[in-house]
Amino acid sequence: MSRIRNLSLLLVSLGFLLTAGTVWGADPVPASPPELKSFPPAALSPQDREEDQNQDLVPDLEPIEPAYLPWGPNTSGPFFTGTAEVEPVGSFFLEPYWYDFLQPSLGTSILSMPQRISVGVIKNWEFDASVPIVVNQATSPTAPAGQSVQNLGVGDTLLWIKRQISDDGNVFSFWSLPAMSFDLQFTLPTGHYLNLDPNQYTTDQTGGGTFDEAFYLILRKHFRPFMFYLQLGDIIENPTSVGPGYTMNNQTAVTTQAQKIVNGNIFYYAGALEHVLSDTWGAGYLIEFFGESQVGQSLLFGAANTPAWSFFWAAPELEISYPYEGSVTVTWGVGMAFPVYSSNYPQTYTPMGTITVYYNGPFGYRGE
125-162 confidence digits (pLDDT tens): 999 999 999 999 999 999 999 999 999 999 999 999 99
Question: So where are the chain's domains?
Answer: 2-26+37-359
pLDDT of residue 66: 84
Single pTM value for the model = 0.84
pLDDT of residue 364: 76
What is the per-residue pLDDT for 32?
38
CB 362 within 8 A of CB 104: no
Reported as a single tens digit per residue, the pLDDT across 227-250 is: 999 999 999 999 999 999 999 999
Residue type, 96: P
Higher per-residue confidence, 6 vs 311: 311
- pLDDT tens digits, one per residue of 32-43: 333 333 344 444
Could you name the CATH architecture of 2-26+37-359? Beta Barrel (2.40)
